[in-house]
Amino acid sequence: MDLIYGLCRLLISGEDVELSGTPDALDGLAAELENAVDDSALTVSGGGVGLKRTTGTLLKVSLDGTTLWIEGNSEARDMVLSAMRGIAQAARQSGPSEVSRHVHIEYLGESDQWRDPNTILLVLAVQGPDQSG
């Protein structure tokens, strides 16, 4: 099995959390997470990324040490997996860019009907060959 998702990187700096990778690595991680065993994390550079399947309809993104957990029902978790695939596809279509493709996943306040108030800010980013350091 090709473990291209291992080329993804989890960067934790204080309260800032970024998960980045090449378009292929992000696609690979999203695919592997969909098929992973419940409550198990996949190893990426800098830590781990896992899904916790719950019956709750709200998405919760949390950290446990250096493991990033994406929690919720399938629709809630798919918000993150779809975002990973979306920025990977956008990067492929647009080619090299001065600014990396990225998306923020965060709680937006009381009117937010999709994310848990205790979710952390997560930035998903495409890491190109010139942005590997």
Proportion of the chain above pLDDT 70, given as a percent: 92
CATH code of 9's domain: 3.30.1360
Which stretches of the chain are assigned E, i.e. beta strand? 9-13, 16-21, 41-44, 47-53, 60-64, 67-72, 102-105, 122-126
pLDDT attached to residue 98: 66
| pLDDT, mean of residues 96-123 | 85
Q: Is residue 133 part of a domain?
A: no
pLDDT attached to residue 2: 53
pLDDT in tens, 12-59: 998 789 999 999 999 999 999 988 877 889 999 999 999 998 887 888
Residue 99: pLDDT band by 50, 70, 90 thresholds?
low
Domain count for the chain: 1
Would you state the structure tokens that stand for residue 25, as one six-digit string? Answer: 């690595």
Other beta carbons less than 10 A from residue 23's beta carbon: 20
Residue-range definition of the domain harbouring residue 39: 4-127
pLDDT attached to residue 128: 66
Q: Is residue 132 part of a domain?
A: no
pLDDT attached to residue 131: 43
pLDDT attached to residue 60: 93
Q: Is residue 85 part of a domain?
A: yes
Indicate if the pLDDT at residue 130 is higher than 60: no
pLDDT attached to residue 129: 54
